[in-house]
Amino acid sequence: MRIATLPAPDDFDAWRDAARALAAAEVPPDAVVWQVGDAPVDLFAAAGDADAAPAAAPAGFSVPRGFIDLARSVVMANDPERFALLYTALFRLRREPRLVEDHADPLVRRLEVLAKNVRRDIHKMRAFLRFREVEEEGGASRYVAWFEPEHHIVRANAAFFVNRFAAMRWSILTPEVSLHWDGKALSEGPGASKADAPEGDPTEEVWKTYYASIFNPARVKIGAMLKEMPRKYWKNMPETALVPQLIAGAQARESGMIETARSSVGGNVQAAWEALRDEAAACTRCHLYKHATQTVFGEGPVDAAMMFVGEQPGDQEDLAGTPFVGPAGQVFNRAVAAAEIDRTRVYVTNAVKHFKFEQRGKRRIHSKPDTGEIQACRWWIEQEQMLVRPQVTVALGATAARSLLGRTVTIGRERGRAIALPDGGEAWITVHPSYLLRLPDEAQKQEEYARFVEDLKLAKAALRD
Ligand code: SF4
């Protein structure tokens, strides 16, 4: 039996080094015991998925990027079996290089669930942590927050808080570790208890800045609020007493919040967009997040004059985390080039940000999002629109058009003309490139492709100089 000791419960690099050495020595997963520091060895947890280990593994192989990303998250999970599970997966990868793409595999599925739980906990810490102001010796202010994460995510979140509160001196206390920022350097201390954190209301100004900086007006929507703000965190958030007032006038506040977010980041819309994307990564507004790999958020310059909205990520987009990279995305790219639109200067996104599919054997078959799912995900596209403020938004297909206009749209009736949007921009409607791929007749395919390019040219021509 080999014992692999890691210095910290979230130390991915240490796990990777140990796993690499063990795999090179061809040590099977069931012969390794994983432990953190001086913690007692959990022999049961260390057993891993021994049945899954191949009898002999070939030497020398490269680990896919997808596995590394998955492992980085899984290492932070509060599950004593995580290191053994990851090592089992690594060992199998030597024989099954596409293992992480097999979402029906029980081990992959389990790792994905752990990773998803970790991502959600990272989001919760960003969204629900509140600072209280304390006066230190010499009269200087320090802002102290208490948080109880479910997973080992505190260090992974350190950079986020340093970026958001670079000008403040702050401490974040958690049971496992504490973080301290003095305005220049970050240091780490031992875990703390809730009694070590100050009581009282969060500091109003800090709260406002924070609220704007994390850019989460979803809290003023009652449904989203109840869903996204677990009661566990309410005790740290006295502003929850303001819920009735927040709900009244929520719509106006959302717009105001976006303006605040824009100005609070010094006009740095990019930072506001990044915060929005991070928020969306943990979205649970509808059930689609449960089966997809990840949220596929929009991409492109935040000052783009043109925005394209597709339906939803496909199989390849779901795995890559990037929109418009699958077969339909390639048709789109070709048509955009044919319409002489600079692809690098447009913002592309989808009406629904999680892949909806039916599992048939090992294949994941695209399934059309329903009205409820489109409506739930409209929340994100509205925020993207308010941030990017494109002059022209092109809806690709009926789902995108419905999301954009809030009503059922017949493409044949609406394509080829501008539709005014409430924000002063214009919507243009055309088909989704996947429609072109599905046409069985080659001549019709060519004809429809040419019409599609013409639609894009018309939309481009509507841009102001
Ligand atoms: S599909 Fe949209 S609304 Fe539903 S969980 Fe995903 S991001 Fe949230």
The counts of H helices and E strands in the chain are: 18, 14
Q: Beta-carbon neighbour count of residue 166 at 10 Å? A: 11
Is 300 in the same domain as 444? yes
Q: What is the pLDDT of residue 92?
A: 93
Is 183 in the same domain as 79? no
Quote the tokens at residue 205.
């100004």
Count of positions (residues) in the chain: 465
Distance 123 CA to ligand 1 centre (A): 15
Q: What is the pLDDT of residue 240?
A: 44
| Mean of pLDDT over the chain | 82
Choose which residue among 289, 349, 356 to substitute to test ligand 1 binding: the one with the highest number of ligand atoms within 8 A of its C-beta: 289
Cβ of 277 below 6 Å from ligand 1: no
In a domain, 306, yes or no: yes
Higher-confidence position of 318 and 230: 318
Is 326 in the same domain as 410? yes
Q: What is the pLDDT of residue 102?
A: 87
**Residues 350/293, Cβ–Cβ less than 8 Å:** no
Is 212 in the same domain as 317? no
In a domain, 151, yes or no: yes
Confidence band (pLDDT; 50, 70, 90) for 197?
A: confident
In a domain, 191, yes or no: yes
Ligand 1 atom closest to Cα of residue 292: 6
H/E element, 126: helix 106-128
Confidence band (pLDDT; 50, 70, 90) for 300?
A: very high
Is 227 in the same domain as 313? no
How many angstroms from the chain centroid is the CA of residue 285? 13
**Residues 401/421, Cβ–Cβ less than 8 Å:** no
Distance 261 CA to ligand 1 centre (A): 22
Domain containing 57: what range?
2-102
- Examine the pLDDT at 49 and tell me if it is beyond 60: no
Q: Which of 232, 264, 296 is the last residue of a domain?
A: 264
CA distance 142 to 132: 8
What is the mean pLDDT of the segment spanning 391-415?
94
Ligand 1 atom closest to Cα of residue 289: 5
Say how many domains are in the chain: 3
List the CATH number of the domain containing 406. 3.40.470.10
**Residues 345/287, Cβ–Cβ less than 8 Å:** no
What is the mean pLDDT of the segment spanning 4-11?
91
Confidence band (pLDDT; 50, 70, 90) for 199?
A: confident
Using alpha carbons, list the distances in angstroms from residue 278 to 32, 122, 159, 241. 36, 10, 13, 26
Cβ of 353 below 6 Å from ligand 1: yes
Q: Which of 68, 102, 136 is the last residue of a domain?
A: 102
Confidence band (pLDDT; 50, 70, 90) for 161?
A: confident
Choose which residue among 228, 375, 377 to substitute to test ligand 1 binding: the one with the highest number of ligand atoms within 8 A of its C-beta: 377
In this structure, the residue with its CA closest to atom 7 of ligand 1 is: 353
In a domain, 80, yes or no: yes
In a domain, 60, yes or no: yes
- Examine the pLDDT at 373 and tell me if it is beyond 80: yes
Is 219 in the same domain as 259? yes
Is 146 in the same domain as 197? yes
Using alpha carbons, list the distances in angstroms from residue 149 to 69, 122, 128, 283. 21, 8, 11, 18
Distance 311 CA to ligand 1 centre (A): 12
Cβ of 376 below 6 Å from ligand 1: yes
What is the mean pLDDT of the segment spanning 405-419?
90
Ligand 1 atom closest to Cα of residue 379: 3
CA distance 172 to 181: 9
Cβ of 280 below 6 Å from ligand 1: yes
Is 217 in the same domain as 310? no
- Give the amino acid at 5: T
Confidence band (pLDDT; 50, 70, 90) for 340?
A: very high
Cβ of 218 below 6 Å from ligand 1: no
Cβ of 197 below 6 Å from ligand 1: no
Is 89 in the same domain as 129? no
In a domain, 280, yes or no: no
Q: Which of 107-111, 139-143, 146-150, 221-225 has the lowest mean pLDDT?
A: 221-225
**39: DSSP letter:** P
Q: What is the pTM of this model?
A: 0.51
- Examine the pLDDT at 338 and tell me if it is beyond 60: yes
Q: Which of 264, 299, 317 is the last residue of a domain?
A: 264
Ligand 1 atom closest to Cα of residue 376: 3
- Examine the pLDDT at 461 and tell me if it is beyond 80: yes
In a domain, 277, yes or no: no
In a domain, 107, yes or no: no
Distance 465 CA to ligand 1 centre (A): 35
Higher-confidence position of 167 and 249: 167
In this structure, the residue with its CA closest to atom 3 of ligand 1 is: 377
Cβ of 387 below 6 Å from ligand 1: no
Higher-confidence position of 197 and 354: 354
Is 224 in the same domain as 334? no
Is 291 in the same domain as 419? yes
Q: What share of the chain is helix, strand, coil (3-state, %, to 5)?
A: 50, 15, 35
Higher-confidence position of 347 and 226: 347
Is 334 in the same domain as 396? yes
